[in-house]
Amino acid sequence: MTEPFGRRLADAVAARGPLCVGIDPHVPLLERWGLPDSPEGLARFTDAVVDALAGTVAVLKPQLAFYERHGSRGLAVLEDAVARARAAGALVLLDAKRGDIGSTMDAYADHLRPGHPLHSDAMTVSPFLGPGSLQPAVDTARQHGGGLFVLARTSNPDAGTLQHAVVSDGVRQRSVAQVVVDTVRGWNTPGWVVGDPLPDVAAARDLAGRWGPTTGSFGVVVGATLHELDVDLDGLGGPVLAPGLGAQGGSVADLRRLFGAGTAVVPTVSRDVLAAGPDPMALRAAAERWATELAAA
């Protein structure tokens, strides 16, 4: 049996540090590298990133959309990259942001099944069709040792339109973002299933040690560029994916300000590392600078 994603992530962070590097081959970046916006340019870009970083960083996060836009040839590039990255020791977090119901969500979750052409260690998902809509993905992750990162409190300018909306379960009122966090906390709590009352923080807190052996496989996405942390992550029991470092304005100081020392955070950098290419040594040096700054903090 494959070890649970949470345990593999904790091991990778212990060995390599917590840095996650996004692989986002958008057109301006391809042009900056002197590459064509074509499957060939996509392959050269992706090969360079994987060759430079898969042996040293804990997590690589390819954005699926940039490969899908090139059709089957783009997906073939990603299939090869995912397999090579995992073989080199990096965990692969597929940035897919999928969200649907029933058999469709089950099909999206196939990315976590061994033998799938894009078999990844974890994937990002969207919860906004209701927490129960993600249960097929939760079941698949548990069966195959995969992980999920659920969009909870993102830092794009109008995110609060939905994420700050207040809902009531007849007992208490919470923001939509807090309901997402509480649901994920439930997934990390042994014995909890959708439909049960959400466990309170005290019932889940024993899972919340920073990168401890009980780090759960289910995490949330919380932007590193938020002005303030307006959701309660206490007792989450799993990791927080924190995008936005570097070009988007987030800093290591923001991580400390938002999350403190008791949260298992996976900070994500994309453009600040990728802009150093195409030279592989420069890519590796850029990632190492971030890793060193994170380790010092």
Domain of residue 236, CATH code: 3.20.20.70
Mean pLDDT of 96-115: 97
* Residue 97 a catalytic site member: yes
Residue-level pLDDT at 296 = 82
pLDDT of residue 212 exceeding 90, the answer is no
pLDDT tens profile 277-290:
999 999 999 999 99
- Tell which residue, 31, 25, 105, 112, has the closest CA to residue 69: 25
Report whether pLDDT(216) > 50. Answer: yes
pLDDT interval class at 191 (50, 70, 90): low
C-alpha pair distances (Å), 70 with each of 63, 222, 236, 246: 13, 29, 37, 27
Find residue 151's DSSP bridge partners.
221
Share of the chain above pLDDT 70, in %: 92
The pLDDT > 90 percentage for the chain reads 83
Q: Which amino acid is at 104?
A: T
Mean pLDDT of the chain: 92
Give the count of domains, the chain: 1
Residue of 16, 97, 142, 210 marked active site:
97
CB 241 within 8 A of CB 262: no
pLDDT at 21: 98
Digit-coded pLDDT (tens) for 124-148: 999 999 989 999 999 999 999 999 9
Q: Supply the range of the domain harboring residue 82.
A: 5-296
pLDDT the model gives residue 206: 47
